[in-house]
């Protein structure tokens, strides 16, 4: 039998069980080797009853002293066992007459379960148990007992016996060692077979704490190889892009420098550097795939505008996609203003557009008279047919998974090849995480803010002091500044969401009768939102009450005070995004985080991070540590790879070595690289051929 045989080749696996195992993504014998235990139980030693500790899961044995049913709301079976040191109660809520009869005083029972404090001393609820005779050895095991991820209808015992079979097969035919010796030796890693064996059947002296935290060298060995496989597949994708055709955009250098010199400000050094990265990419006859990382307010939009202008002067169409209508409208306004002197008029496309206008937009896009198209996701829906799309810009993409990237690659492809792509993040991503998630993209970082910006000063204030905060809004607005008051999004319900914002709006209009207060929430029609936003931008509204719809991108430089309600409920990166709405002008800006006491430990740390730093990269790093990568990258939503073993929050620090090793392996043996990708990702065609 081969390790890549189907599971039905194993003893005891029929089609029905194979189907259930398929739900755990187990299809081949080999897959079982990579199904690692979630935790381990120590059944290697019998613990004396007198030495039990609350919370521990352990194996005990004792003489049955008493078995009785009592009525405590429902029938309970209580069995008392004891050894020379002490006594313990076993409690069963569900039991058969036959089970009850098994517990004969004088017999012995060996049990495994969690120790709790009961009404009369320690007890175990529904322990696993076995009836034994006096003097009969209560057999222990000689390795820690693995507990596997469960699936419906497959018992732990079954998974253990299947992995036993798979491990035996592995001894006979170990999986190929794909990591070069030079790498495993340098990093002091065990061989693949040793690591797998150890993790499935750890010896009694294994460091359980280390294994539970996922930092055991054997776990790190597997995590490393998995990260390597994903990295290699993304690198392949990048290599593939370099062989594809795109329209080389080489003309129009004077127009671009003319535009830059007419701007009301001078580009920062970082902006200039990123612009030149982009311009040299665009001049290549292969599609650009570039990610711009920059903190909130670092000036990503104007960089995008330069790229746009370059494309337009070279005679191709550019599409700019923003995640929300508010933001897309804002871009429409900025780009219209910037490009008006050049005679370029952006075309608008959104889902909520009236049919006649939409038809008009679609016609100009297909006919080619639309040079610059701005909109939301509607840009890439069915029925949008570009005449000659040369550049796609995706702004403030907070969550941009590999599948979305793959899907976008194909949009707008034509006989001229693929369009160039520029992606701008809404949230800085820690360097190691970016290595893992975006290895198929080239990255530029705008690591400098426009001059004259003062860091936003941030305070956390309990809700009980709300009236002081309202007072603060009043005095700030009295001096001509503007303020945001943000209510948290209530994910489950647009209605509740609206109610929360409406209640704050009412409270604030009553408390501040002299102020012009506006309200924006998710249930409004896009035109209404846009009207509210415009009024705020033009200063007609002084205080804008909003839900987190204004989270990304909104730019109103005169706003200098940000109040965030229920800040304890929001993630760090989101809070940093919201705070980034202020501090965009010359005035000193403030952010007040209103919270409900008492704060949990993580919430406390989050608020402290924001108080202590304005640097988005530091905030992102802390967010990664506190909440894991899912929140930063949106693993679930966008289908970023679900790792089997690696955990980016825990293992991101492996990435620099992963990167170095990947480059070395690629250089030395493409077939080796391909085998690594195949082992972990299956059919490599998903991310392009190796
Ligand atoms: P973000 O990177 O968050 O998208 P924006 O592109 O919205 O930032 O820019 C924030 C603000 O800074 C805008 O009002 C923009 O006009 C302004 N800005 C951009 N670059 C500069 C610069 N080099 N000097 C001064 N202000 C700038
Ligand atoms: Mg922006």
Could you read off the pLDDT of 537-577 as tens digits, one per residue?
999 999 999 987 776 778 899 999 999 999 988 888 889 98
| pLDDT at site 491 | 58
> What is the percentage of the chain residues whose pLDDT exceeds 90?
50
Give every CB contact of residue 241 below 8 A, 6+ residues apart in sequence: 286, 287, 289, 409, 418, 440
Report residue 39 as tokens.
């935790």
The ligand whose atoms approach the alpha carbon of 580 most closely is 1
What mean pLDDT comes out for the span 466-480?
95
Looking at the CA of residue 294, tell me the nearest atom of ligand 1.
Answer: 2
Per 3-state DSSP, the chain is made up of helix, strand and coil in percentages (nearest 5) of 45, 20, 35
Task: Decide: 522 and 508 in contact? Cβ < 8 Å.
Answer: no
pLDDT digits (tens, 9 = 90+) for 96-106: 988 899 999 99
The more confident residue out of 583 and 380 is 583
Domain 253-446 is classified in which CATH homologous superfamily?
P-loop containing nucleotide triphosphate hydrolases (3.40.50.300)
- Neighbouring-strand partners of residue 422: 290, 393
Averaged over 469-491, what is the pLDDT? 90
> Which ligand places an atom closest to the C-alpha of 323?
2
Closest by CA to 315, choosing from 267, 365, 247, 383, is 247
Give the C-alpha distances (Å, rounded to integers) separating 88 from 46, 80, 103, 133.
Answer: 14, 6, 14, 18
Which atom of ligand 1 sits closest to the CA of residue 266?
23
Cα 58 to ligand 2 centre (Å): 56
Span from the CA of 302 to the centroid of ligand 1 (angstroms) = 7
Q: Return the residue whose CA atom lies nearest to atom 12 of ligand 1.
A: 299
pLDDT digits (tens, 9 = 90+) for 508-521: 999 999 999 999 98
Atom of ligand 1 nearest to the CA of 267: 23
Q: What is the CATH number of domain 457-613?
A: 3.40.50.300
pLDDT of residue 138: 64
Mean pLDDT on 213-234: 93
If you take atom 26 of ligand 1, which residue's CA is the nearest one?
450
Mean pLDDT across 409-434: 83
Q: Which residues have a beta carbon within 5 Å of ligand 2, which is an ion?
A: 300, 553
Q: Tell me the pLDDT tens digit for each residue of 264-300.
A: 999 999 999 999 999 999 999 999 999 999 988 899 9
Q: How far is the CA of 659 from the centre of ligand 1 (A)?
A: 33
pLDDT bracket for residue 684 (50, 70, 90)? very low
| Per-residue pLDDT, 3 | 61
CA-nearest of 165, 145, 147 to 156 is: 147
Q: What is the pTM of this model?
A: 0.79
Domain 49-140, what fold? OB fold (Dihydrolipoamide Acetyltransferase, E2P) (2.40.50)
Rg (CA), the chain: 31
pLDDT in tens, 102-128: 999 999 999 999 999 988 889 999 998
CA of 449 to the centre of ligand 1 (A): 8
Atom 25 of ligand 1 has which residue's CA nearest to it?
450
CA distances from 688 to 28, 125, 235, 681, 683 (A): 23, 52, 10, 12, 10
Strand duo 39-41 + 145-147: pairing = antiparallel
Q: To the nearest whole number, what is the mean pLDDT of the chain? A: 87
pLDDT of 401 over the 70 cut: no
CA-CA distance, 71 to 248, in Å (whole number)?
Answer: 82
Q: Whose CA is nearest to atom 5 of ligand 1?
A: 299
Supply the angle between the helices 601-612 and 616-627 in degrees, to the nearest 10: 170
Cβ within 8 Å of residue 253, ≥6 positions away: none
**Cα–Cα distance measured from residue 55 to residue 115, given in angstroms and rounded to the nearest whole number:** 5
The residues that bridge with 590 in the sheet, in sequence order, are 457, 561
The model's confidence at residue 633, banded by pLDDT at 50, 70 and 90, is low
User: For the segment 137-159, what is each residue's pLDDT rounded down to a tens digit?
Assistant: 566 777 888 888 877 778 888 88
Please check the confidence at residue 199 and state whether its pLDDT lies above 80: yes
Ligand 1 pocket, residues with Cβ under 6 angstroms = 265-268, 271, 294, 296-302, 450, 553, 555, 557, 584
């Amino acid at each position: 039998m081969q390790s890549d045989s189907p599971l039905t080749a194993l003893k005891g696996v029929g089609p029905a069980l194979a189907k259930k195992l398929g739900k755990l993504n187990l299809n081949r014998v080999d897959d079982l080797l990579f199904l690692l235990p979630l935790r381990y139980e120590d059944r290697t030693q019998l613990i004396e009853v007198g030495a039990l500790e609350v919370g521990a899961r352990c194996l005990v044995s004792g003489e049955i002293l008493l078995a009785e049913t009592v009525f405590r709301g429902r029938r309970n079976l209580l069995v008392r066992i004891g050894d020379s040191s002490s006594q313990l109660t076993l409690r069963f809520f569900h039991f058969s007459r036959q089970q009850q009869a098994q517990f004969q005083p004088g017999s012995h029972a060996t049990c495994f379960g969690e120790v709790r404090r009961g009404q009369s001393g320690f007890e175990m609820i529904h322990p696993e148990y076995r009836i034994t005779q006096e003097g009969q050895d209560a057999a222990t095991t000689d390795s820690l007992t693995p507990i596997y991820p469960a699936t419906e209808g497959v018992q732990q015992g079954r998974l253990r016996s299947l992995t036993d079979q798979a491990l035996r097969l592995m001894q006979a035919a170990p999986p190929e060692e794909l990591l070069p010796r030079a790498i495993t030796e340098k990093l002091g890693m065990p061989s693949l077979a040793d690591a797998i064996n150890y993790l499935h059947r750890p010896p009694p002296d294994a460091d359980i704490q280390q294994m539970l935290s996922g930092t055991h060298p054997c776990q790190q060995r597997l995590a490393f190889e998995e990260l390597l496989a994903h990295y290699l597949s993304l690198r392949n994708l990048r290599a593939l892009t370099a062989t594809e055709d795109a329209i080389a955009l080489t003309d129009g250098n004077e127009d671009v420098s003319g535009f830059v010199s007419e701007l009301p400000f001078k580009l920062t050094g970082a902006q200039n550097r990123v612009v030149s990265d982009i311009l040299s990419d665009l001049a290549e006859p292969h599609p650009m795939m570039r990610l711009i990382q920059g903190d909130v307010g670092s000036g990503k939009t104007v960089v995008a505008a330069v790229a746009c202008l370059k494309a337009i002067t070279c005679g191709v169409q550019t599409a700019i996609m923003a995640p929300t209508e508010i933001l897309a409208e804002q871009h429409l306004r900025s780009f219209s203003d910037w490009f008006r002197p050049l005679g370029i008029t952006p075309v608008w496309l959104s889902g909520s557009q009236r049919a006649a206008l939409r038809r008009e937009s679609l016609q100009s896009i297909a006919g080619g008279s639309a040079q610059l198209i701005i909109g939301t996701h509607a840009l890439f829906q069915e029925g949008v047919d570009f005449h000659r799309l040369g550049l796609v810009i995706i702004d403030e993409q907070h969550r941009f998974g590999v599948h979305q990237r793959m899907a976008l690659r194909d949009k707008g492809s034509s006989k001229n090849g693929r369009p160039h792509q520029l992606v701008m993040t809404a949230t800085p991503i820690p360097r190691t995480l970016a290595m893992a998630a975006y290895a198929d993209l080239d990255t530029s970082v705008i690591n400098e803010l426009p001059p004259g910006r003062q860091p936003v000063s941030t305070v956390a204030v309990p809700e009980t002091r709300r009236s002081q905060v309202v007072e603060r809004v009043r005095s700030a607005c009295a001096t001509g500044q503007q303020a945001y008051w943000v209510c948290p999004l209530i994910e489950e319900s647009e209605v509740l969401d609206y109610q929360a914002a409406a209640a704050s709006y009412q409270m604030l209009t009553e408390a501040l009768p002299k102020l012009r207060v506006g309200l924006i929430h998710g249930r409004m029609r896009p035109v209404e939102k846009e009207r509210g936003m415009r009024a705020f931008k033009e200063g007609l509204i002084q205080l804008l009450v909003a839900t987190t719809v204004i989270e990304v991108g909104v730019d109103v430089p005169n706003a200098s005070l940000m109040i965030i309600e229920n800040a304890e409920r929001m993630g760090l990166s989101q809070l940093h995004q919201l705070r980034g709405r202020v501090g965009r002008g010359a005035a000193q800006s403030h952010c007040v985080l209103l919270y409900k006491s008492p704060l949990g430990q993580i919430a406390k740390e989050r608020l402290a991070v924001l108080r202590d730093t304005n640097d988005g990269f530091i905030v992102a790093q802390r967010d990664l540590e506190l909440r894991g990568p899912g929140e930063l990258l949106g693993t679930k939503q966008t289908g970023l790879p679900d790792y089997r073993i690696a955990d980016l929050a825990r293992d991101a620090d492996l990435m620099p070595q992963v990167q170095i090793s990947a480059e070395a392996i690629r250089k030395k043996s493409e077939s080796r690289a391909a085998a690594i990708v195949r082992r972990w990702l299956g059919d490599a065609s998903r991310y392009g051929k190796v």
